[in-house]
Structures are given as structure tokens and as C-alpha cells.
Amino acid sequence: MYNIIVLLKNYCSGLMKIDIIIKSALLLSISITFNVFYADAQVNGTNTNGGSSSGALLTAVPFLTISPDARSGAIGDAGVALSNDKNANYWNPSKLAFIENGDQLSLSYSPWLRRLVPDINLAYLSYAHKLDDRNVIGLSLKYFNLGKIQLVDINQQEQGTYTPNEFAIDASFARKFGENFSLGTSLRYIYSNLSNGSFFTGQQTKAGQAVAADVSLTYKKPTELLGTDDLFALGVNISNIGSKISYTETGQKYFLPTNLRVGVANTWYLDTYNEITATLDANKLLVPSNPNSTASVPAGIFGSFTDAGFSGELKEINFGGGLEYWYNHQFALRTGYFYENPNLGNRKYLTLGVGLRYEAFNLDFSYLVANEQQSALANTVRFTLGYSFGKNPSNK
């Protein structure tokens, strides 16, 4: 891969380039393989999901793998089996089937990679509507702003500014089967605008577009341990199963970050006022180890379990989990840890957070603790504001 500044040395005159903007420490690279655009936006050798680009599995639109909400962000970026809420649109659409209120709305915001650059941010809007006792629909929008770039020509004359951005729009449906099991799916439209329409090797660049789907399940079972009521939950979500993406008309197309997430959670209801939840997620990208693979999407998904060898496939699994404590369903304390193999992204960090509920409102905050010399995600914060309204259809 070459960053854009290196490539410009071989460009013909008249082509526009992206100023590296040293004063803001931004280096926006577009990965190039066999003279085509590859949709892996990076900042100073860091993927946009916060991991090191050295040795990591590379996919298009890595922003899709960024945990958007503050609740799960405070529990080690785990959420596939947590108790249901409106952010299930991202974590596990099937969990929507267990929401209690008729309608739920949530807005999340996070300044992203602020240790490297000041104006990258991630926003997430999620909505869920309960149709009846068994069926729920959801909608969500995830927007990733990569900050403002000053464009200059080969004579270093300013040519205005440009703001690369990406977004995904989801529509979800979940249905409950019995009291303990549900299935869910999401359909997703993805738009990735990383270039400004310049020509490269005779081809005009364009915004990348793709469609994808998630399939998921949730199983819950009330149990009793040592005389205490508790609830066990299992969640599975395969996300971003979809078409490849390209940034030129005839250029090579690249895989979306298809991801398998499996998680468990157990909640102990200690008494009327106190409850504790422990959760653990395991994630694995279902993409070829070779980012230049020309395999079909199904072949790439199935081949992702064997193409790196047994030990290599185990290293591709990352883990996140933690604890959540609620007092009187009004105040929460959270902590967690996320681990990724040092040779495959090297994201390792502790997370902390709090949550507040007041009537129909909830406010969550999370903070990421990591070594500032080793992690671009150090000191990352997330905020989520939620609101529940409308009646449960079964209580009309």
C-alpha cells in the first residue's frame, strides 16, 4: 500500500492531491493494489476502527465494525447478548423482539481517534418500534466523518476543502418464537465517499456503494443459582453479508467486513434494588486473509475459517467483555476489557462507564483507557442519549 503523497510523485500534472495537513497530524491514505482504489481509510498507519493496519485483516468500510453506543462501549465493546435496547439494531437485531416499550429512540456520538486528529467523529441514530407481542422493526443510521481535508494542486495552490465521509442505513426486523427465542435480520445500504472524483490511472474515482444483510438469533432462559434469580442469554449475529465494493467503474472490488459475533451474558437479580450482569463476546472477521482475493463472497466467507491455518484462525478471534451493575434500575456502573492479537490489529484497552435513567430518558457515558504511545483509541469517549415512548401494544 502506498499513501496518496507517494503516489502523487508519479501522477501527471493537473491531478489534484490531498494535503497531508501536518499541522493537524492527519495522513489520509487510500490503499492501492494493482492500480485500483482500496477502501481502507487510515490515519497515521491506523485503520479507522482504531487498530493498527500492520498485519490486520483489511476490508473495505471498517467503520462498520466500530461500536457506536456508550453502554456497550463501557463493557469492553460487547453487546450481542446484553439485555435488549434500541441499539440492538447494531449488536444483534433479534434482541429487538424483547423490547418492552412500544417505541425507543437513541442517539450516540463519539469524537474518534482524537489523539491523532481533531475532527473525526462517529454518530449513530437508532430507533425501534414494537408492532405486537412478537414482532418489532428497527431503523438506524451510522455516520462516520473523517474530517476536513485541504485540497491543493501540484503547485501547492489551494483548491478548496473536501470532507470524506461514510454512512450506513439499516432496516431491521425481529420476531419472537415462544418466550425465550428470537430471530432477526437487517438490510443495510452502505455509502463510502473517500475521494473527490479525481482521475487515477485513467479512471475516475467515485463513491463506493454496497448492500448487506445481518442474520441473528437470541436465546434467553431464566434460571436460579445459589438461591438467586438470574437470566442467561446467548446471542449470535453474522453482520455485513453483502456485495463487494469498488471506487472505480472497472477496478477490483473488495470485501465488506463480514463479521461473526457470538456472546453470552448472565444477569443476577440480587434483590429488589441490585443486579449485576457479566458478558463476553467473541468476534471473527469472515473475510479472506489475503485482501486482494478475487474469491466470491460465499467462498470468501467459508474460506475464512481455514485460509490462515488452525492457529492463524484462532489468532483472528478478538474478545470483549465486562460487568454492568444497576442500582434500582436508575444508576449503572460499567467496566470491561477488549483484546485483539498484537499481530492482527493490536487493540487492547480497558473501558469504564456510567448510566443514568430518569423516567423515559437514559444517558450513558463511556471512557476508553489505553496506553497513549501504543493505542490510537486512548481516551476515547462515547455519549448516548435515549428515550422510550409509546405503550406496549399488549397493554393497549
In the chain, where does DSSP find H-type helix?
4-8, 70-73, 88-91, 297-303, 309-315
The edge-to-edge listing of strands for the beta sheet with 158-162 is 17-18, 149-152, 158-162
Average pLDDT over residues 182-194: 95
Taking the CA atoms of 294, 297, 303 and 308 in sequence, report the sign of the dihedral they define. Answer: positive
Average pLDDT over residues 371-380: 83
Q: Quick one: residue 178, left, alpha or beta (phi over 0 = left, psi -120 to 50 = alpha)?
A: left
The C-alpha atoms of residue 337 and residue 369 are separated, in whole angstroms, by 9
3-state secondary structure of 68: coil
Q: What is the CATH number of domain 4-395?
A: 2.40.160.40
How many residues in total does the chain contain?
396
Residue 85's pLDDT is what?
Answer: 84
Residue 21's pLDDT is what?
Answer: 34
Q: What does the mean pLDDT of the chain come to?
A: 82
Residue 197's pLDDT is what?
Answer: 62
* 5, three cell numbers: 503523497
3-state secondary structure of 275: strand
Summarize pLDDT for 115-146 with one digit per residue, the tens.
888 889 999 999 999 999 999 999 999 999 98
* 359, three cell numbers: 423516567
Nearest to 27 by CA among 37, 16, 18: 18
Average pLDDT over residues 245-267: 90
The C-alpha atoms of residue 220 and residue 371 are separated, in whole angstroms, by 37
* 326, three cell numbers: 444497576
* 322, three cell numbers: 465486562
Question: Which distant-in-sequence residues (6+ apart) come within 8 Å of 320 by Cβ?
Answer: 75, 76, 77, 78, 280, 281, 283, 336, 337, 338, 339
Highest-scoring range by mean pLDDT, 181-190, 198-207, 222-231, 345-354? 181-190
Nearest to 116 by CA among 43, 21, 42: 43
Summarize pLDDT for 1-52 with one digit per residue, the tens.
333 323 323 323 232 333 333 223 333 333 333 233 333 445 555 667 666 6
Whether the CB-CB separation of 41 and 194 falls below 8 Å is answered with: yes
Whether the CB-CB separation of 27 and 34 falls below 8 Å is answered with: no
Nearest to 246 by CA among 18, 60, 43: 60
3-state secondary structure of 336: strand
